[in-house]
Structure 1
Amino acid sequence: MTIHLYGASFSTCTRRVAAVAKEVGVEYVLHPIDFAKGEHKAPAFIEHQPFGQIPYIVDDANDNFELYESRAIARYLVNQYGAKSGLIPTDAKKLAKFEQAASIEASNFDAHAATVAFEKLFAPMKGLTTNEENLQKHLAQLHAKLDAYEVILGKSKYLGGDEITLADIFHLPYGYVLTKSGFADTLVNEKRPNVTRQEL
């Protein structure tokens, strides 16, 4: 099976979908969206993604099913093609722990990591000046959140339990960007051995 992924290679949300597709063995064709030309705001794009954001997919193996929002796409790929992967548990308690971990990623990691990445990498790429105050504010928040991660990962191997789930994979795109931004060593070090074990 092959899905059509409409996004951009630099996009963390597109990378999130690509990582999950790879994990469950689904091939995809990337259809690059040119932000410089405003393709994501063009009427033809808005027909598929009304918010004008990336990515969205079309699954031609499943009646051309369309879906947007990267985490929703990830859940769909696992449920449709990777149910045996265990990335979304079926046991009620394990599922609840997975959903808790997924919520932690979206609420406590993504918002701060995204802002750090924007201020450090994406703003300069767009010709904007980094807002140092905003950068330091969200970097401090990220430090505080990772202190909580340290506690959680001291009790289980992964964020949602002792088996890897989608919640862990959801961290990969911004984990990579934080590394490229030069913050990995300050966030992941001997002071947080359990977080370090996960290798952001």
Structure 2
Amino acid sequence: MSHGKQFTLYTHAGGPNGWKIAFVLEELGLTYESIYLDFTKGEQKAAAYTKYNPNGRIPAIIDHKNSDFVIWESGAILLYLVDKYDPEHKISASTELDKYRQTQWLFFQTSGQGPYFGQAGYFLVIHPEKIPSAIERYMKEIKRVWGVLDGVLKEREWLVGDHMTIADTAFITWNESGKGMFMMSQEGYDFEKEYPALAKWHNAMINRPKIKNLLAEKAAIAPPHH
């Protein structure tokens, strides 16, 4: 089977985790086709997709130039992409110790940011019954994660080394989601005033041309509540 693009990216128009992969593919100049699964139709749980990702979640990628290699879980995909396709370390750590630090921050994002921010969004927006204790718990977790990042970024420009890496870009979409939740739930909320170092770092990334274009694309096609 012939493919014009190197990668197929299985993703979702609004889901933050798929766009994390698109940022890196774009920054590395890799060609890909995005297939947006329709969650309302259960496409992420259908056999046509679970043959690639048995967990039935996005994202997953197929690398057609590497024997149609399939990998899922966003953190694992990001590591694969830079290990295979970023020999110049444009957006990845270059020293041995910084590679471990990069993995450390990726683990923090995938286990400490994504799930908590996602639960905050679920209880704030999607769950039919308003449960104040659950909303409070997860909104506090957003603040905790942001506090960790802001404290570290007061001391340095990027999380690892001297330039932007996947350790940084992995946080973008969930940060955007968190900002939206606070603006929705707290009138007059000022992200930049609350977390100035975090905001400076975040803004530096979302104003990069390729990332800015993808965020505009996401805004245009995302369903409500994302």
TM-score bracket, shorter-length normalisation: 0.7 to 0.9
1:70–1:103 Cα change, 3 Å: closer
1:56–1:76 Cα change, 3 Å: same
SS of residue matched to 1:85: coil
Specify the code of the residue in structure 2 equivalent to 1:49. N
Whether contact under 8 Å (2:142, 2:178) holds in the other structure is no
Q: CA deviation at 1:68?
A: 1.0
SS of residue matched to 2:24: helix
Specify the code of the residue in structure 1 equivalent to 2:137. K
Find out whether 1:108 has 2:112 as its counterpart.
yes
Instruction: Compute the RMSD of aligned alpha carbons.
Output: 2.3
Mapping 1:174-193, distance limit 5 Å: 174-183=174-183, 186=189, 188-193=191-196
Find out whether 1:197 has 2:203 as its counterpart.
no
Query: Identity of paired residues, percent?
Result: 21
The 4+ residue runs of structure 1 with deviation greater than 6 A are none
Q: CA deviation at 1:91?
A: 0.8
- Structure 2 stretches of 5 or more lacking a match? 204-226
Match of 1:67 among 51, 71, 83: 71
1:42–1:192 Cα change, 3 Å: closer
Partner of 1:80: 84
1:16–1:64 Cα change, 3 Å: same
1:146–1:118 Cα change, 3 Å: same
Find out whether 1:34 has 2:34 as its counterpart.
no
SS of residue matched to 1:18: helix
Whether contact under 8 Å (2:112, 2:145) holds in the other structure is yes
TM-score where L is the length of structure 2: 0.76
* Alpha-carbon distance between aligned partners in 1 of 2:190 and 2:165, rounded to the nearest angstrom: 22
Deviations 1:67-91 (CA, angstroms, capped at 9, x unpaired): 1111111222222222323422231
Deviations 1:145-200 (CA, angstroms, capped at 9, x unpaired): 32222221122111224321101110011112223334497473334321121236
* Alpha-carbon distance between aligned partners in 2 of 1:148 and 1:35, rounded to the nearest angstrom: 33
Specify the code of the residue in structure 2 equivalent to 1:140. K
Find out whether 1:171 has 2:171 as its counterpart.
yes
Aligned residues: 196
Partner of 2:134: 134
Whether contact under 8 Å (2:92, 2:164) holds in the other structure is no
TM-score where L is the length of structure 1: 0.85
* Alpha-carbon distance between aligned partners in 2 of 1:113 and 1:194, rounded to the nearest angstrom: 20
* Alpha-carbon distance between aligned partners in 1 of 2:132 and 2:41, rounded to the nearest angstrom: 29
* Alpha-carbon distance between aligned partners in 2 of 1:163 and 1:189, rounded to the nearest angstrom: 22
